[in-house]
Structures are given as C-alpha cells and as structure tokens.
Amino acid sequence: MKKPLLLIIGILLLDQIVKFWVKTHMYLGEEIRFADWAIIHFTENNGMAFGMEFGGEYGKVFLTSFRILFVVAIFFYLKKAVAENANKLYIYCIAMVIAGAAGNIIDSVFYGKFFSGSEFQIASFMPAQGYASWMHGRVVDMFYFPILSGHFPEWFPLWGGDEFVFFRPVFNVADASISVSVILMILFQKRIFNLENIQESNESQPENKEEPTPSEEA
C-alpha cells in the first residue's frame, strides 16, 4: 500500500503546486504561450467537466459531496485490491484516479475560502474574505494544447464551415491523472484483468466431442 499512497501524494502535491502558482501569478483568462499548440491558459471550472453547470449552488454542494463519497469508496476498493495482490498496473491506475478526483475536490471545497477572486487581478492567498463559501470553490485549469485547428469543409454534416480545434479542453494535472489511468486500463486491459491467461487456457482445452450413440455405431 506504500507505493500507491506515495503515488497519490505525489500527484496531489504536483497538482496543487501548479494550481497555487497559476492562481497567485496570473489573472483569469491570462495566457503564457510556449508555442501555438502549447499554452498555459488560466481558467476556472465552476461546475462539472468542460464548464457545465449542475443545479446551481445546491447542485455544486451535491456534486462535491458525491465526489468525496466516491473517493472514499474507491480508496477502500484500492486497499482491497492491494490486499488481494491485484495487478500492480491496475493498482497504480486506481491510485491515479483517486489522486485526480481528490485534487479537484480540494479546489471545490477550499479555494473559495483560501483565495480572492482572479478577475482582472492576481488572487491573494488567505484573504480576509474569499471569493466563495465552503464547497463552492472553482476548479483551476491551465493546460491548453490546440494541436490542430482549422475549419470543417462546407459539405461536412452539421458542422460544415465551423471552426474546429483539437485538443480544445483546458485541463489540469488532476484531470490528466484520471485520463492517463483510463487510457492505460484500456490499452493494457488484457494484462490487468488477466484476459490473456484466460484466452490461452480456453485455447489449450481440447474440444469436447460427442460420443457416438450405439445406433450411430451400427
């Protein structure tokens, strides 16, 4: 359990250090461009993924509470997986999901109280009054990689002529941790869930042939 815990702590620390730096050095909407396709773009997510809202103020509390319960439940599942000596890659993937979810929970629970607003100014840490109440903080996002951009051809259904950008979402270390863990589980699902051994075992078993009946022998 030691190594998965260290992985969780490491991802959480990296996530919060990056967010803290962005929050205390940039104002909302500010960008630092390393290249046309590699940009630090400070934005804040006020609801669910990709900026969607969920039921107003009470929805925000419900969503944050649900995330906390999810992290607690999956943490106990991680302990169970370690105790049962599950695949190590699978264990690390679960740990990455926990770290990613917990990283964004910290923003939602504490940032509203711990920081002032970032609109047209640099936020201050531990102000006399924060920009929101407990569990109403906004998740800090910053990584933006518009690797490809252009316009759909006019003949393209629904989006003909519209602009497209790949990759459009702005994300953070916590989001990346969850995404990478899911990709790893998809790519290595045979190894993680022992599907290769099951397939080899099935292939090695002789086919069952029906014994001929006495009438057929005659």
Q: Which residues are catalytic?
A: 141, 175
Closest CA to 67 of 45, 34, 85, 42: 45
* Residue 177 CB neighbour total at 10 angstroms: 27
Tokens of 181: 């863990």
**DSSP code for 187:** H
- DSSP class of residue 125 equals B
* Cis? peptide before 143, omega within 30° of 0: no
Q: What are the two backbone dihedrals, phi and then psi, of residue 52, each rounded to the nearest 5 degrees?
A: -70, 150
Tokens 């969607």 locate to: 52
